[in-house]
Structure 1
């Protein structure tokens, strides 16, 4: 949409015909994409006027504030302060605080919370307030460098656990899978190590593939490969999409696909690249030769209609998302099982795209904040 089209979309809701449109209600009350776009346009007030006319927006004030905070937190540093000021003037104190907590320099956030203390929190407890404002999940470095300003205690186990739960969002969708496994198996989980690598910018949390490789490498070290493979065969990966419930994808296939994608995607970018050997981490029964054949065909500029799912995975891994979506859309289901399979791959594709787009269309979670931070999406 252009800025004018966004305004027209908002104004259309004033008619009875469009006021109950489900897409409109979703974009006004459950997604951060539209408010973020209107913030960038300089039309935040127009969004608030339209949103506040929706009973759903007014009825769930806490969620609405989180969504507005998420929208503003993904703006440029220059846009954050004036946007937070507008929201403050409109009475959205927590949304304004969330945006200021996401800034590189949190001095403005500290000053704001001193004059606008959070409910049910000791005003002197800046650390707890910062956590409640989603600061750790909104910043590239998490809490790194803020220990002195926020008076972080050197050893506070309950606080460590609360802080970790906020930061675990940056490991999605694999963090929730690991949490589920730990709840049923007596196994350790390298949460702190992964988050530390993300904070130190050694691991790119925007990439599901990079995250998966790092996780499996650590699980093989800690659990042993045989145990890890047993766990993968037992517990599917939940793909969170628009709701709190998860769309499950077989874990063994999920991780094997990651290893194959990372190994073969370079072939699609370089016609002269040599085919790599089968990655060590891939399961012994994985159809590696079929993947190699598809990758070589794509390398030569030819698509294999007989292997649509492999084609989809490799195209997406190579950054050719439109082609991947077109390929999957062209698959005609002949059975209910095939329909479910298409849905599983479509959900997996969308979750990975959401990760690379600040999760802007997927804020409906317990704490709807970005799973990672990067430049303009």
Structure 2
């Protein structure tokens, strides 16, 4: 279910494209051109607007919608007849274009406010299948790639709980035998930071997962330049048709750009390399970097980021996930073109 903040940023971005004078007029009018937004959504947004807590989000989203309506690469001042909000829908198939809005059946818009996250997927989907094919039923990545270090960390956790906590006498000897309730209970004692007695085991666990994840990614990438270039396209979410991203960066500055297609990408850039390597931190990390040449000027450029391999709901809780982050500023990223 979408959070209130998400509903505000996505719906109000769409409302800003309709040529109305203000956020308040749009909410009061409840335009027929907007599809997928029900009265209950408008009621929530009106209440949130009156509360004042999300005033900044309302204004940022409205400004982005207005900017897209005016942009030469966007609507060029033409009032759209249909603005569809996809909302918290369940996609009928694997969708790779992260669109939140569809304008007049043509323009796809992703709303991204304060985030540099590119993907949040199962580790195997990234490191083994290169984001190309998604499968259901992801297993425990930690147990698969670093079982010895995972078990050592769990054993240190069991010892710590035996000395400092009550109610954990039923934990099994093996980490792979934990049931869902035991995973859930293990989260709380280690929610903030690893105790001193666990730091060494946690470090070597992070090292092992980082190294194994990077090795599997490198194996899947192989040595062919075309395969590595295609992997970079998928990492940056380049798709067969262009789409737009409207939002703000982590400093709350407006971010408005078009995500080009692989065909566009190759017109502008020559691929040199795409590399990945492990970097153990408090949690396992794999760094990535793409190096390119701007064809028009023969200038080298690069794009880089990192992947955090982490539990989805806190330590020992939930399946491991691979969260892919972009370090390069969006408007400096090859394949992302700023809206005029």
TM bucket (normalised to shorter chain) is under 0.3
Looking at secondary structure, tell me which structure has more helix per residue: 1
Looking at secondary structure, tell me which structure has more strand per residue: 2
The one of the two structures with greater contact order (alpha-carbon pairs below 8 A, sep at least 6) is 2
